[in-house]
Each structure stands twice: as structure tokens, then as C-alpha cells.
Copies of this chain bind each other. A is one copy, B any other.
Amino acid sequence: MTKPVRLALLGCGTVGTEVVRLLHEQAADLTARVGAPLEVAGIAVRRAGRDRGPLPVDPALFTTDALGLIKRDDVDLVIEVVGGIEPARGWLVEAMRAGKSVVTANKALLAEDGGTLHDAAAEGGVDLYYEAAVAGAIPLLRPLRESLHGDTITRVTGIVNGTTNFILSAMDATGAGFTEALDEATELGYAEADPTADVEGFDAAAKAAILASLAFHTRVTAADVHREGITEVTAADMASAKAMGCTIKLLCIASRGPDSAGVESVSVRVHPAMIPVSHPLASVGDAFNAVFVEAVAAGQLMFYGRGAGGAPTASAVLGDVVAAARNHLAGVRAASESAYAALPIRPMGEAVTRYHISLDVADRPGVLAAVAGVFARHDVSIATVRQASVPPGPAGGPSGSATRGGDADLVIVTHAAPDAALAATVAELRRLEIVRSIASVLRVEGEGS
């Protein structure tokens, strides 16, 4: 019998237990695909004695000494499903320097300090795979890393956080407000007890950094990503979106192109945005993920599937394990990180987008002229204006507002312009005496400008 490839598993939570289960259930197939059996050498956990249900492994394999397990001579590959920056970073660097390939699902670590991991992989001459770190089971990183290497990717637009997509889909379907929809998500297990990382966009920003790095051959970290969450999206915003034939999604958008000075650069941002219901991303409901990729020769591509959950994430982990194990047996290393382009990162002010602005203004002559003048001063071109006298209809008006005699709702959608010019326009509108309040400001994505 061929010598097995021996695995150290770091972490045994939701994903880890699924990895163990799949390794056991699919053992015969995995052996055939790898060319040797995959064997669990040890499982590092925080508390060794904890009840993990009927797992198909010898309880003696559990240890609390992760570093000791990694360093063992009979360990060939390391799988990390613990998450967080430390101690994971130290463990993985140690493993790779010792010549052991790593498969990890740790998006936070890759987004914060992927460079250190890639450097350690190069130093140790080993593989670093992380398909599970973005969009769970969806095979996305390998296509970006390999299949599209003969092409130039210009833009990646993704729904990469299932919790926020569940919340926004619920708001769209029922007219609920953010808090109500979040409560439902928590009840159904789609949101964690502390939902901050999801609803404030931190999780999506980490994934955006990883996607942008691969798409543009440039190291992008989470700190480079402009981030806005969905906590301020209101039922009225959703109603406005619907009135425009749109819905609201939390998008991660990574694009490349010349900045205002003509320098080719990269822009990476995460924020809620209106997209037309006809856009392929608009129909991505519940906790599903999808990533829309635009490339010069390939045109438009979309990848869709489950972005989280134990089994889907374990599927992605095991795909990487099979690849790393084959390379280990063949004594070769997969193509490493490609960061040769090293494009500069553009600040958010230079990102080109469109705004949907809903204003509550005095209903008297000259108001539109004054408002339009503000847009003109900032060189922002207006695409559409819609005016309605108050009391507002179901669309466009701030929800819950009492009747305000003599007021009107003004809904303005701009053409594409730099975000700084759009933000400055909104700031100046806010200072206009005739503007009573700004009911909502949302970016509009996913269509020509």
C-alpha cells in the first residue's frame, strides 16, 4: 500500500468536524484521486476533552499542543480552520518554513497579512491554498488564480457575505427594517450573537482584499478596502430602490483602471448599493453568495453557490487538500502568488460611482434650480430627477415622516462621477436652507452610466 499523506488539522469546530467526516466517508475516492490515502495525524483543539459528538476518529488524536503537532515529522500537510490572526499566523508560518503545505480557510489572516503567509510559502517551497476563505464552496479563487491568467480582469463585483444578504433579501421581500430583519436572521441562525463582523462589512472587506489581490496581481490588504456596512439601510431606502426597479445588496467591488491622473490603479470597496433587478446579482437570495467577474476577453462571468456552512466550506478545504497532497507526492509546488503588477490603490474619493439621493425640500419655485446648481458646481451630471409633493407615496419619502405642508420629495440619480465629488455635493446640499433633510443617499451600481 502507498504511504499515506498525513494531515494535521488545526481546529475542530463546524468546518473541522465536517472535514473529518468527509475524509472518513469519501476515503476510497480521495485515495484514488490523490494516489495515496489521506490520514489524520492529529487534531489540535483548545480543549481536548470536549464532547464533539460521534466523530469518526480516534479520540487519542486530539491534542492541545498545536505547535507540537505541526512540528511532528510524520505530518505532511497542515489544515487550519481556527480563524483569527494569532496564534494562527505563527502556526502557519512555522508549518510552511518546515516544508509543510498549508490549506486554510482564514480570510481575516489572509486579508490582514497575506504577504507574510505567501513569503513563508515561498521560503519553504510549499503550497498555500485558501479556496474556502472566500465564498465557501464556490470554486472561485482557483479560476481567478489559474483559469483567467491569460486574460485581464477589469472588475469583480460580489455578494460575499451570507448574513447581510439574508437580511437585505428579507427587507426586500417583507418591507421590514434593518433591526427586524437582523432579529429574524439571528433567530434562524444566519447571524451570530455578535453580528458586527458581518453587518458592518468587515467580513466582506476581508474577502474583497483577497479577491482584489488575485484579480489584479497586487497585494491588497483589508486596510486598503473602503468599508461601509448595512446598519443604516432603512425600509425607506429599500422602497426607493424598488421604485427605481432596483434592490439593495451589500457589494464588494474591486476594479482597475486609470485614476484621474491617468495612472493604472485599483479601487476596492464594500458598501450597500442599489442594483437593477435585471442584474444577475439581484436575484441572489437568502444566504447565497455570487461573484460577477468582468474580463477583457472572457467578458462577463458569474460564480454562484453557498458561501458558508460546515459542509460547503469543508468541500472547498478538501479540494485544496487533494491538490496539495498530489503536489506533495509529486514533489512539486503549485504556481505561487502572483503580485508582480503591484498596482497602486486608489482612495475611495477617486472611485467612480453613481449616487441616488432622496431629498426633502421646500416646495417653491427655484428650488430645483438651486439644487441642480450644487451638482453642477461639483461637476456631477444628473441622470434623472423625480419630484413628488408631500405627503409622500410609498416610494421616495422618508418612512414615518408626518405630513409636512409645503414640502416636496426630490429623488435624484446622478451619472458616474468620482465619489469625492458626489460626497461633496451631498455635503453642500445638506447646508442649503431649502433642503429640509436628506432622507437617503445610496450608491447605484451594475449598469452603464
Binding site for B on A (CB under 8 A): 18, 22, 26, 29-30, 32-33, 131, 137-139, 142-143, 146-152, 217, 280, 283, 295-306, 309, 311-312, 314-323, 326, 330, 332-333, 335, 338, 340-341
Contact B139 A338 (CB under 8 A): no
Q: Which of B33, B304, B341 sits near A301, CB closer than 8 Å? A: B304
Residues of chain B lying within 8 A (CB to CB) of residue A333: 330
A35 and chain B: residue at smallest CB distance? B335
Given known A-B contacts A137-B297, A297-B315, A322 and B26 have beta carbons under 8 A apart: no
Not counting A137-B297, A149-B323, a sample of 6 additional A-B residue pairs whose C-beta atoms are within 8 angstroms of each other reads A33-B340, A149-B318, A296-B311, A297-B311, A298-B306, A298-B315
Q: Contact between B330 and A332 (Cβ–Cβ < 8 Å)? A: yes
Inter-chain contact A280/B298, CB cutoff 8 Å:
no
The contact sample of 16 A-B pairs, CB cut-off 8 A, is A22-B150, A29-B217, A137-B295, A137-B298, A138-B301, A139-B147, A142-B143, A146-B319, A146-B322, A146-B323, A150-B318, A150-B320, A296-B311, A296-B315, A297-B314, A303-B304
Residues of B within 8 A of A147 (CB): 131, 139, 142, 316, 319
| B302 A315 Cβ-Cβ under 8 A | no
Shortest distance between the CB of A296 and any CB in chain B (Å) = 8
Closest 7 CB pairs of A and B: A150-B318, A139-B147, A139-B143, A137-B298, A297-B315, A301-B305, A298-B315
Q: Chain B contacts of A332 at CB under 8 A? A: 330, 332
- What residue in chain B is nearest A137 (Cβ atoms)? B298
Contact B138 A146 (CB under 8 A): no
Q: How far is the CA of A371 from the CA of B150 in the complex (A)?
A: 58
**Nearest CB in chain B to that of A320: its residue:** B150
Report the bound CA distance from A138 to B318 in whole Å. 23
Which single member of B33, B300, B305 contacts A302 (CB below 8 Å)? B305
A323: which B residues are within 8 A, CB to CB?
146, 149, 335
Residues of B within 8 A of A30 (CB): 150
Instruction: Establish whether residues A148 and B326, one from each chain, have CB atoms under 8 Å apart when the complex forms.
Output: no
If A147-B139, A319-B146 touch, does A303 touch B300 (CB 8 Å cutoff)? no
With contacts A283-B283, A304-B280, A341-B32 taken as known, whether A315 is within 8 angstroms of B295 at the C-beta atoms is yes
Chain B neighbourhood of A151, CB < 8 A: 22, 26, 315, 318-319
Cβ B297 vs Cβ A150 within 8 A: no
Chain B residue with the shortest CB-CB distance to A288: B300
When C-beta atoms are compared, the residue in chain B nearest to A142 turns out to be B147
Contact of A149 among B300, B302, B305, B319 (CB under 8 A): B319
Q: What is the CA–CA distance of A93 and B138 in the complex, to the nearest angstrom?
A: 34
- Taking the closest CB of chain B, its distance from the CB of A121, in whole angstroms, is 15
Q: Which of A139, A321, A323, A332 has the most CB of B within 10 A?
A: A139
How far does the Cβ of A320 sit from chain B's closest Cβ, in whole Å?
7
Question: Shortest distance in angstroms between A20's beta carbon and chain B's nearest beta carbon?
Answer: 12
Known contacts: A139-B143, A280-B304. The answer to whether A33 contacts B148 by CB under 8 A is no
Contact present for A340 and B32 (CB under 8 Å): yes
With the chains together, A255 CA to B358 CA distance in Å? Answer: 51
Known: A32-B338, A217-B33. A301 touches B137 (CB 8 A): yes
The answer to whether A139 and B26 have CB atoms under 8 Å apart is no
Given contacts A33-B217, A315-B297, contact A321 B150 (CB under 8 A): yes
User: What is the bound-complex CA distance between A303 and B139, given in angstroms?
Assistant: 9
| Residues on B with beta carbons closer than 8 Å to the beta carbon of A319 | 146-151
| Contact, CB under 8 Å: A149 / B322 | yes
